[in-house]
Amino acid sequence: MKKVAAIALVVLAVVWLLNTSLLATPPTGAPKILAHRGIHQVYSPDGVEEDTCTADRIEPPRHSYIENTIASMRAAFDSGADVVELDVHLTPDRQFAVFHDWTLDCRTNGTGVTEQTPMTELKTLDIGYGYTPDGGKTFPFRGQGAGQMPTLTEVFNALPHGRFLINFKSERREEGATLAVLLRFHPEWRQQVFGVYGGSAPTQETLRLIPGLKGYDRQSTVACLGRYAAYGWTGIVPDACSDTLIIVPSNYAPFLWGWPHRFAARMRAVGSEIILLGPYGGGDFTSGIDRAEDLAMVPEDFAGYVWTNRAETIGPLLGKRLAASSD
């Protein structure tokens, strides 16, 4: 029994030495802000499901920005965002409409499926029409969103120095092929695309057609983190974690082998970037690092991307934290 106990202690010591961040040098660089939908109206995540209309449950507005508009993206960059996440739908007239919802009924004064509506018609809609913070008593953004749904081309042209994480809302492979063609004809836009994610078919098609581009879908994320959980303690990084974007929910992060610094160093060594989310509670809802107290979830010397729904709050706060740590 003593020999067994001694062997067990040696094994535990080896695992600890291989994975402790106390003996790891943090990767160089500062944390970077990834602004989900630009700066936008936020809402309580309680009870949100895939088909929940979130425009009719927003918090009392703190600003006038509407998600996925050029103005909201510009404001996010002005607040310190390094990347803005946006949502796209390929319309019948072969334009990428930048809009979150699968249908138009929740946020706009239109009806129908977004991807089945020509961009010429989408341009006539008021995308601020459905927002209400008080159960329909007032609609503070009606009229302000008229004609404000942009195309992806308009976003690239209006914000030539911005970088974007593109979310495919469908499972149409042709969306990935169309984006690849668009970037082939406009190589100046390639550097603006930080990555792609969402529907597996368009995401994987884009990655196949555009060498060097990073992206992820649910399957690739599960493959990476699942295999890493199984044998990452050895220091071996699964192929599924190489040259990709790795989504890490903050409540799962402490259970990753080597979190934070050794894990980050391993991912950087295989060409991958880490995106730190808020806590994951199941379902399809993505939470962010959105409040001052949430910054406790961001490790000191973290050099990855911080996903937030409040870039206007977290950007300046993170900047102050960095300034204080460098004094």
The confidence score (pLDDT) of residue 122 equals 98
Looking at the predicted structure, is the pLDDT value of residue 10 above 90?
no
The confidence score (pLDDT) of residue 327 equals 65
- The alpha carbon of residue 325 and the mean position of all alpha carbons in its chain are separated, in whole angstroms, by 26
Torsion angle in degrees (nearest 10) through CA of 298, 207, 175, 178: 120
CA dist 98 and 87 (Å) reads: 5
The confidence score (pLDDT) of residue 27 equals 81
Stretch 188-198: mean pLDDT, rounded? Answer: 98
3-state secondary structure of 306: strand
Amino acid at position 116, single letter: Q
3-state secondary structure of 155: helix
The confidence score (pLDDT) of residue 284 equals 64
The confidence score (pLDDT) of residue 324 equals 82
The confidence score (pLDDT) of residue 88 equals 98
Instruction: Give CA angle at 62 (61, 67), nearest 5°.
Output: 70
CA dist 67 and 27 (Å) reads: 33
Looking at the predicted structure, is the pLDDT value of residue 39 above 80?
yes
Give pLDDT tens digits for 72-121.
Answer: 999 999 999 999 999 999 999 999 999 999 999 999 999 999 999 999 99
Which burial class, exposed, middle or buried, applies to 310 when counting CB atoms under 10 A from its CB (0-12, 13-18, 19+)? buried
The confidence score (pLDDT) of residue 323 equals 82
The strand pairing partners of 276, in sequence order, are 248, 306
Categorize the per-residue pLDDT at 133 as very low, low, confident or very high, splitting at 50, 70 and 90: very high
In angstroms, the Cα distances linking 40 to 61, 92, 105, 211, 212 are: 9, 27, 19, 32, 31
Amino acid at position 297, single letter: M
201 within 8 A of 171, measured Cβ to Cβ: yes
Looking at the predicted structure, is the pLDDT value of residue 7 above 90?
no
- What is the pTM for the complete model shown? 0.95
CA dist 169 and 86 (Å) reads: 10
CA dist 127 and 106 (Å) reads: 9
* Pairing between β-strand 81-90 and β-strand 96-98 as defined by DSSP bridges: antiparallel
Output 8 or 222, whichever has higher pLDDT: 222
Categorize the per-residue pLDDT at 283 as very low, low, confident or very high, splitting at 50, 70 and 90: low
Looking at the predicted structure, is the pLDDT value of residue 285 above 70?
no
209 within 8 A of 185, measured Cβ to Cβ: no
The confidence score (pLDDT) of residue 2 equals 72
Return the structure tokens found at 243.
């040259």
Looking at the predicted structure, is the pLDDT value of residue 15 above 80?
no
Stretch 203-230: mean pLDDT, rounded? Answer: 97
In angstroms, the Cα distances linking 208 to 139, 203, 227, 236 are: 44, 9, 23, 25
Looking at the predicted structure, is the pLDDT value of residue 230 above 70?
yes
The confidence score (pLDDT) of residue 20 equals 82
Mean pLDDT computed over every residue of the chain: 93
Per the document, the length of the chain is: 327
